[in-house]
Structure 1
Amino acid sequence: MVGDGDGRRIVAVVVTFNRLALLERLVARLHEEPLLAEVVVVDNASTDGTGAWLAARAAQEPDGPVLVPVQLDRNRGGAGGFHEGLRVAVERGADLVWLMDDDGLPDAGCLGALLLHDFDFWGPVVVDEADAARLVFPIRLPGGTRVVHDMRDVRAAATGGVIRDVVIPFNGVLVTRALVERIGLPREEFFIWGDDHEYRLRAERAGGRVATVVDTAVRHPSVGDLGTPMMFGRTTYNHSPSDLKHYCMARNNLLNLRDYRGWPHALAFVAKTVWFYTFTRRDPARLRLSLEAMRAGLRGDFTGHERFLR
C-alpha cells in the first residue's frame, strides 16, 4: 500500500473551479509524489472543460497516485468543495489528507518534508510564486500581534524549522483522520472566505496540534496586499472589490469572531466595518451590503451570496 514510513494511507484533495490550466499543472506535480495513494479532485461544476479532462485523465492506466474525480452539480465554493473532498478521502480510507486549492503548487518533495514532523493539522509556508522571499498570506506570530510578510522573519521565528500554533489552512495542509473524526468537516455553508480559518479554530479548540513547517512551500499567485490601512494606520481592513468575496467575508468573519472570541470582538468587527466604509473608503452601498451579510449570518441564512454567482 502507498503511504509513509508508518504505513499511513495519504490522499490529496484538490478543489477546482474553471482553472483547468492550473489544475493540469498541479495534478502533474502531485503525480510525482511517491507517497500519495490517491488524488481526489473536487470539481465545482466547472464550465471550461475540467470535467471532461478529469474523466479522460482518470481513465488512463495509473503509474502513480490514482486520480479520483468528484463532480459537483453546482458551485459550492471552496468550503463545499473541501467538505465533500475531505468526506470522500476519509471514506476511501485516508489516514492523512493533504488539502489544497487548484492555484497553488507545492514544492517538489513538499509532502515528504511535512511528514518529517508529527502534528494534527500542519502545512508549509505559502509564498508568492513570483517572489519566493515573500509570503502570499501574512503570518501573525504566536504570543503577540506581530504580523510578518518576509521569509527571513518567518525563519527567524521558527524553532526546529517549525512555527507552532500557526497554519495557513487549505493551502497544502495535512490533516489527520483522527482530527477529522474529532471535529467533523468544514462548514460548507460558508461557501468561501472564513471556512478555512474556522476549521483551524475548531482544530485548536479540540486540542489539535497545529504548525507551519518553514523549510518547504506552496507557491501561489499573488493576491495583493491583504489589509487596507484604516484608523490613521492603526489597523487594517480586508477590503475586496468583489461583492461575492466581501459578502462572504463580512458574514463568516462575524460568526467566527462571535463563536470563538466572543461578542465584544464580533461587535468590534461591526464597528470597524462601519468606520471603513464611512470614513476610510466611503461607500454607502458596500456598507449596506456588509450589514445585510452580517444580519443574514446571525439569522442562519447562508443563501445571500448566491446572487453574485455567475
Structure 2
Amino acid sequence: MRVTAVVVTYDRLPLLRTLLARLAEVPGLDEVLVLDNASTDGTGAFLAGLDGRDGVQARTLRTNTGGAGGFHDGLAWAVERDADLVWLMDDDGLPDVDCLELLLQHRGELDFWGPVVVDEADPERLVFPIRLPGGTRTVRRMTDVADAAVDGLIRDVVIPFNGVLVTRDLVQRIGLPRAEFFIWGDDHEYRLRAERAGGRVATVVGARVLHPSVGELGAPMMGGRTTYNHSPSDLKHYCMARNNLLNLRDYRGWPHALAFVLKTLWFYTVTRRDPARVRLSLGAMRDGLRGDFTGHRRFLRG
C-alpha cells in the first residue's frame, strides 16, 4: 500500500515549511508531491533546493492554476507514480501526527474519506461546518460532531482536499478534479462525482487537521434560518457563485440552482446590501452557464 501526499501551495512559504516539517513526522507516508502554483515569494527556489530530498518531489507550474488546477495535476502525478492512496491537502492545513494513521484504519472500507478540520486557535470549533446527513442540521463544535458519529464515522460527509484520502481505484473511475474551476467548488464537485459513482465517503471524527479560520463562512441570513457563504474577496466570491451554480444544476437540478440565485440576491439586497456584489454574482453565474471559465483572471495579481 503506497501512500502519497499531494500538497498544493501558492505564496505561503512559511506555512509550507511548517507543513512539510510535520509531514516528515507522519508515519505511513511514502512520498510528498508539492505543486507550486507559480508562487512569487521564493517558494520555487525553496522547493528546487528540496526536490528529491526526504521523499519530497516538487513541480512549479508556469501560471497560477488555483487549487483546482493544482489538485488536478497533483492527483494525476501521484497516480502516475503508482500511489494506491493519495492524501490531498492545501498548504494552510496542519494534520496531527497521528492523522494519517487514524485514517488508514479505514482503508478497504472507504474510498474518499478525511479528518475533521478544526480552527487552529480554537480546536473545539470546526472551520468548515458539517451538515449532518439526512436533515438540515449543521454542526460547528466538536462535541456535536462526536455525538453524531457512529463507530467513529460520519458517513456520506467529508471536507475534501483538507487531508482527505482518495483511492487510486476511485480516481481511475471518476477522473480528475475540474481544473477550470480555479478555486471554490472544485473539491465539492469531486465529492459529488465520487458519490454519484458509488464511492464510500466519510469523515473520521478522531482524525484532525488544524486550519486557520476562514471568517464568515456560513454567515446567517433570514433571521438565522439559513446561511450564506459570504467572502470579502471578489475573486473567491466570483468563483463560488459561478462554480456553485453549476454544481447545483448538474447534481441537484435546476430548482436548487435557481434557489441559489434567489438566495444570493436576497443576501446582497436584504441581509447585507451591496449592489456591486449583486452585479458580480450575476456576471459570474452568467459566465458559468456560458461555459466561460476565464472571468476570474481579472482578479489575479500580475
Q: Same fold (TM over 0.5)?
A: yes
Q: How does 1:260-299 map to 2 (within 5 A)?
A: 260-299=251-290
Whether 1:11 and 2:4 are equivalent positions in the alignment is yes
Which residue number corresponds to residue 60 of structure 2? 71
1:147 to 98, 122, 138: 138
Q: C-alpha separation between the residues in 1 aligned to 2:95 and 2:78?
A: 19
Q: Deviations over 1:16-55 (max 9, x none)?
A: 0000000001001111123112100000000111011111
1:34 and 1:136 map into 2 onto residues whose CA distance is: 25
- The CA deviation at 1:71 is 1.1
Determine the C-alpha separation between the residues in 1 that align with 2:218 and 2:125.
16
Query: What CA distance in whole angstroms lies between the structure 1 residues aligned with 2:229 and 2:41?
Result: 30
- For the pair 1:29 / 2:18, whether they are aligned, the reply is no
Per the alignment, residue 94 of structure 1 pairs with 83
Distance 1:14 1:276 in 2: 34
Please say if residues 183 and 239 of structure 2, whose CA atoms lie closer than 8 Å, have aligned partners that are also in contact.
Answer: yes
| Distance (Å, rounded) in 1 between the aligned partners of 2:262 and 2:214 | 26
Q: Quick one: which amino acid aligns to residue 15 of structure 2?
A: L
In 2 relative to 1, CA 59–67 (structure 1 residues): closer, same or farther, beyond 3 Å?
closer
**Displacement after TM superposition at 1:59 (Å):** 5.0
What are the residue-to-residue correspondences of 1:209-224 with 2, within 5 Å? Answer: 209-224=200-215
Match of 2:150 in 1: 159
SS at 1:119 equivalent: coil
When the two structures are superposed, what TM-score results if normalisation uses the length of structure 2?
0.97
In the TM superposition, what whole-angstrom CA distance separates every residue of 1:54-94 from its partner, at most 9, and x where no partner exists? Answer: 1111254x3xxx11101100100000000000000000100
2:35 aligns to what?
42
C-alpha contact (below 8 Å) 2:32/2:57 kept by paired residues: yes
CA distance in 2 between partners of 1:47 and 1:209 (Å): 39
1:276 Cα shift?
1.4
For structure 2, list consecutive stretches of 5 or more residues without a partner in the other structure: none
SS in 2 for 1:232: coil
Equivalent residue of 2:51, what SS? helix
The aligned counterpart of 1:206 is: 197
Cα distance in 2 for residues equivalent to 1:226 and 1:212 = 20
**Structure 1 residue 181 and structure 2 residue 172: aligned?**
yes
Look up the match of 2:238.
247
Equivalent in the alignment of 1:52: 45
Provide the rounded CA distance (Å) in 2 between the counterparts of 1:276 and 1:141.
Answer: 24
Alignment of 1:225-244 (within 5 A): 225-244=216-235
Partner of 1:4: none
Amino acid at match of 1:76: T
CA RMSD in angstroms, aligned pairs only: 0.9
* Structure 1 CA distance for aligned equivalents of residues 224 and 143 of structure 2: 24
Distance in 1 of aligned mates of 2:148 and 2:216: 22
Within the candidate set 249, 255, 258, 2:249 is matched to 258
Please name the residue that 2:71 is paired with.
82
Q: Is the 8 A contact 2:114 2:160 kept in 1?
A: yes
Using structure 1 for the length normalisation, give the TM-score: 0.95
Q: Distance in 2 between matches of 1:227 and 1:111?
A: 28
CA offsets per residue over residues 214-249 of structure 1, 9 Å max, x none?
011000011124122222322111111110000000
Q: Which amino acid aligns with 1:41?
A: V
Q: Percent identity?
A: 77
Taking the aligned partners of 2:170 and 2:52, their CA distance within structure 1 comes to 32
**Equivalences, count:** 299
